[in-house]
Amino acid sequence: MNLLLLGCILVLAHTAETVLGFGATLIALALGVHLVPLQELVPVLVILALLQSVWLVARWFRHIEWRILLRHILPAAGLGIPLGIWSRGVADESQLRTVLGAFIVVVASAELVLLFRRQAIGGELRWYYRVPVVFAGGIFHGLFATGGPLIVYYASRQLREQATFRATLSTLWLVLNTVLLIGFWSSAQLDSEIFKMTAFVLPGLIGGIVLGSFIRVNELIFQGITYALLLVSGVVLLA
């Protein structure tokens, strides 16, 4: 039953990812952690996210902003990932759930405020803001495979065109999740049970991609619903 519910959550999560270019792992973590232990859930979500990234990159490849990706995002995020992976190895699950809950509440609240103030968002971030923001995003990606919100915040200031935004972030997730999977494999965290669980919930990924491909709603409204749901989920994690 828990895996069936997780599959339904994945439909929602990957619908959001298909429409927006981000959000799948964060949504699936916030809701799925109540159904599956975090140490099992993260590898499954990374595999699914990698599969979706392959599809999104193939679809939007010509829109990738390589200069920003290779010079501004990947170096800082890449430095943060090892610290996040190490932190996940030394903390227990209750601590990680608390950190995740606080992270989700802060990010979801900030994103909702930004949505209401969309007209007031400024220009590109200067390097002394960009580097710590993207570095912190790499740390959280190493912890939970979801550094998205921090990196998305930077990308939203740097990449104005929706197609470029989606394509560049999808390429980033493809690279970072490949690194995470290599780490999972080398630390023996990928076993037959993880692959069985992934295969069982794979229809949720497919359903999300198909559904998201047909959705044509105002992006701000969809983002508002997504982050409101995340805010509630984060509060539940902290309760």
160-181: pLDDT as tens digits: 677 788 889 889 989 988 988 9
Reply yes or no on whether the pLDDT at 213 is more than 90.
no
8 Å CB contact between 139 and 84 = yes
For the chain, the maximum distance between any two Cα atoms, rounded to a whole number of angstroms, is 49
Question: CA nearest 44: which of 59, 54, 33?
Answer: 33
Question: CA nearest 50: which of 214, 193, 171?
Answer: 171
The pLDDT score that the predictor gives to residue 123 is 58
57 vs 23, higher pLDDT: 57
pLDDT confidence bin for 120, thresholds 50/70/90: very low
The pLDDT score that the predictor gives to residue 200 is 94
Reply yes or no on whether the pLDDT at 216 is more than 60.
yes
Q: Does the pTM exceed 0.85?
A: no
pLDDT confidence bin for 74, thresholds 50/70/90: very high
Reply yes or no on whether the pLDDT at 218 is more than 80.
no
Reply yes or no on whether the pLDDT at 97 is more than 80.
no
Angle at 213 between CA 3 and CA 4, to 5 degrees: 10
pLDDT confidence bin for 139, thresholds 50/70/90: confident
- Which residues have a Cβ under 8 Å from the Cβ of 29 and sit 6 or more positions away? 38, 41, 42, 45, 100, 144, 145, 146
